[in-house]
Amino acid sequence: MARIFWFRRDRRLGDNLALNGCANQAIKDGDKEVLGVFWYSSNDFESQSGMRQHSLTESLKALDKSMGNTLSVISSEDTAGLVEFAKERKVSFIHATESFDPEGIAEQRQLASKLKANGIQLVLEDSYYAVKPGTVSKPTDGSAYRVYTPFFKAWFQIGWSAPAKLTKGFVWAARKGVSAIPVPTKPAQFPVRAGEDFALETFKKFQKRALFDYSENRNRPDMSGTSHLSHALAHGEIHPRTLLAELRDTEGHNVFRKEIAWREFYADVLYRNQHTLDDYYEPRFKNMRYDKGAKAKAKLERWQQGTTGFPMVDAGMRQLLATGWMHNRVRMIVASFLIKDLHLEWQEGASWFEKHLSDFDPASNSHGWQWTAGCGTDASPYYRVFNPILQGYKFDPDGNYVRKFIPELRHIAGSEVHEPWLLVDGLTNGYPEPMLDHSVERDESLARLKEIKVD
Ligand SMILES: Cc1cc2nc3c(=O)[nH]c(=O)nc-3n(C[C@H](O)[C@H](O)[C@H](O)COP(=O)(O)OP(=O)(O)OC[C@H]3O[C@@H](n4cnc5c(N)ncnc54)[C@H](O)[C@@H]3O)c2cc1C
């Protein structure tokens, strides 16, 4: 009787410890058969942007191919579909990678109890991280780290195993019927590539192209200075262990390791503070004054569509719509603008990101937003308000990033593109005037902060 392996955010065969665990047990069982299955909710799929839909579909196609076209795909609103599938195939065990975010935990709890009622066991192993969330604790009292740097040191001390190869000697059980991989209902702007082979290829290219200079160039959205592996990590097409195993003790490598550790830190913070997926990590920020109503909605729409009149903000928002990805520096700039210039709540921006980012990750998204909002784990003693114009001059010094995503500004050469309203012909192609005065809104944001200060 085959065992089921339930693929979740671990859509790869290499260094998949939960899959190896399942395969080893199948070999022990004698029949050696593993039935690979992926489950999704069609309502969730429908709510996502075209880029997100295509990236999931391509990820599943690649996985199916690597399994000799044996992946079964189930669509149902909750895990009941998986239970029915297991009952039909008369299996006794479903194996999977353990999830530590609120949705994943709810899913696996619900599934485990339904399976138990049918005499089937859910076996959970490993995680999507080098170090399992909840493992890194202060040696003094066992509590969680609230600040990144000491977390990083302790995380690095704990360490991780070397990447594991796929267990040999098991076979994929044939699926019944044709593949039910979801078909996107919305267009993508270009053919999306995904899957384990593509992730490994992307990492190799990054090692050659940009890893050495990563510490210098990673903040430059006009350069290809980062790995672009966030999509593969979010889908589990590559495990962080595979990346970490290749890193040495050079500046670029060390900074890249630290960025991987941010992903691990946020996963740990979310695991220990489940409510912070959509609620404030620092509760006093709940009482801050935020703008609401029709005017706020109109401001949100301008931000979403990239028509605020601030080139760096608009380039970022248009990059998101066009590619399903945005550079980290620009994510911080657009997030700061939404919260500190438009005075909207961080959750508004986070849910737009969730819909459009093909690298959407619940922990990195919620805590990336909360860090920028100042209500998260930022250890800085002052309240950061990014100046979207100065950020443009600093991180897109020749204006190439802005021109790439804003066609209305392509007639402006060099860095002047960051303040097109200062030029006689700057706004001739229909690009809007700035929707607000940044220095006025900065003061307004600081005034609102003062109202919730406890000293
Ligand atoms: C408001 C906001 C929302 C974000 N939402 C997401 C999200 O939904 N999904 C997501 O993967 N990342 C998110 N990030 C983090 C970061 O922007 C992306 O991971 C990064 O831009 C991905 O590009 P890359 O793979 O080229 O990164 P690289 O610079 O090559 O970094 C390598 C990997 O390290 C991790 N990493 C790097 N920086 C961060 C960071 N600040 N926080 C957490 N992990 C990091 C990512 O897994 C990334 O793929 C968010 C950041 C902000 C400020």
The CB-side HSE value for 152 (13 A sphere, CA atoms) comes to 13
Q: What is the pLDDT of residues 97-146, one digit of tens each?
A: 999 999 999 999 999 999 999 999 999 999 999 999 999 999 999 999 99
In a domain, 247, yes or no: yes
Nearest Cα neighbor of 290 from 329, 333, 341 is 341
Q: What is the pLDDT of residues 151-190, one digit of tens each?
A: 999 999 999 999 999 999 999 999 988 889 999 999 999 9
In a domain, 21, yes or no: yes
- Enumerate residues 6+ apart whose C-beta is below 8 A from 197: 62, 66
Burial (CB count <10 Å: 0-12, 13-18, 19+), residue 165: exposed
| DSSP one-letter code for 414 | G
Backbone CA torsion sign across 69, 70, 74, 79: negative
What would you report as the CA-atom Rg of the chain, rounded to the nearest whole angstrom? 23
pLDDT at 176: 87
In a domain, 178, yes or no: no
In a domain, 338, yes or no: yes
Ligand 1: lining residues by beta carbon, under 6 Å = 218, 226-230, 233-234, 259-260, 262-263, 266, 327-328, 331-332, 335, 353, 357, 359-361, 364-365, 368-369, 372
The answer to whether residues 217 and 89 belong to one domain is no
In a domain, 362, yes or no: yes
The answer to whether residues 261 and 389 belong to one domain is no
CA of 220 to the centre of ligand 1 (A): 14
| Residue 135 belongs to domain spanning | 129-163+197-272
The residue whose CA has the least distance to atom 26 of ligand 1 is 228
CA of 154 to the centre of ligand 1 (A): 21
The answer to whether residues 378 and 266 belong to one domain is no
What backbone phi and psi angles, to 5 degrees, belong to 12? -155, 165
The answer to whether residues 335 and 419 belong to one domain is yes
Contact 253, 342 (CB under 8 A): no
- Enumerate residues 6+ apart whose C-beta is below 8 A from 427: 420, 421, 433
* Structural domain count, the chain: 3
Which token pair is 210? 């940009």
> What's the distance, CA 418 to chain centroid?
28
Residues paired with 33 in a beta bridge = 171
**Max CA-CA distance within the chain?**
78
What backbone phi and psi angles, to 5 degrees, belong to 82? -70, -35
Give the residue from 126, 154, 188 where a domain finishes: 126
In a domain, 409, yes or no: yes
Q: Return d(Cα 205, Cα 219) in angstroms, integer.
A: 19
Any idea what the Cα angle at residue 209 is, between residues 205 and 215, rounded to 5°?
120
Backbone CA torsion sign across 84, 89, 90, 96: negative
What backbone phi and psi angles, to 5 degrees, belong to 36? -85, 130
CA of 389 to the centre of ligand 1 (A): 23
Ligand 1, pocket-test mutation among 264, 328, 356, 395, most atoms within 8 A of CB = 328
* DSSP H/E element including 395: helix 388-395
CA of 131 to the centre of ligand 1 (A): 18
Which position has the token pair 């058969």? 33
pLDDT at 454: 61
The answer to whether residues 133 and 122 belong to one domain is no
The answer to whether residues 227 and 298 belong to one domain is no
The answer to whether residues 438 and 295 belong to one domain is yes
- Map 287-312 to HEC letters: HCCCCCHHHHHHHHHHHHHCCCCCHH
Q: Return d(Cα 74, Cα 93) in angstroms, integer.
A: 17
CA of 367 to the centre of ligand 1 (A): 11
CA-354 nearest atom, ligand 1: 8
The answer to whether residues 305 and 446 belong to one domain is yes
Q: Return d(Cα 360, Cα 349) in angstroms, integer.
A: 13
Q: How many residues does the chain have?
A: 455
The residue whose CA has the least distance to atom 31 of ligand 1 is 259
Give the residue from 251, 272, 293 where a domain finishes: 272
Q: Return d(Cα 204, Cα 214) in angstroms, integer.
A: 14
Give the residue from 68, 99, 126 where a domain finishes: 126
Q: Return d(Cα 131, Cα 265) in angstroms, integer.
A: 10
Contact 309, 433 (CB under 8 A): yes
CA of 327 to the centre of ligand 1 (A): 8
pLDDT at 341: 98
Q: Return d(Cα 328, Cα 368) in angstroms, integer.
A: 9
In a domain, 170, yes or no: no
The answer to whether residues 135 and 107 belong to one domain is no
Q: Return d(Cα 331, Cα 282) in angstroms, integer.
A: 21
Q: What is the CATH number of the domain that holds 291?
A: 1.10.579.10
Which position has the token pair 């962080």? 240
pTM for this entry: 0.97
Q: Return d(Cα 155, Cα 268) in angstroms, integer.
A: 11
Ligand 1, pocket-test mutation among 129, 237, 259, most atoms within 8 A of CB = 259
CA of 325 to the centre of ligand 1 (A): 10
The answer to whether residues 264 and 284 belong to one domain is no
SS3 39: strand
pLDDT at 244: 98
Ligand 1, pocket-test mutation among 244, 326, 359, most atoms within 8 A of CB = 359
Any idea what the Cα angle at residue 291 is, between residues 287 and 295, rounded to 5°?
165
State the amino acid at position 133 in one-letter form.
P
Contact 401, 221 (CB under 8 A): yes
The answer to whether residues 264 and 292 belong to one domain is no
Q: What is the CATH number of the domain that holds 146?
A: 1.25.40.80
In a domain, 182, yes or no: no
The answer to whether residues 119 and 140 belong to one domain is no
Residues of the chain scoring pLDDT < 50: none
N-terminal to C-terminal alpha carbon distance within the chain: 65
CA of 35 to the centre of ligand 1 (A): 33
Cα separations in angstroms, 293 against 106, 344, 348: 33, 11, 13
> What's the distance, CA 176 to chain centroid?
33
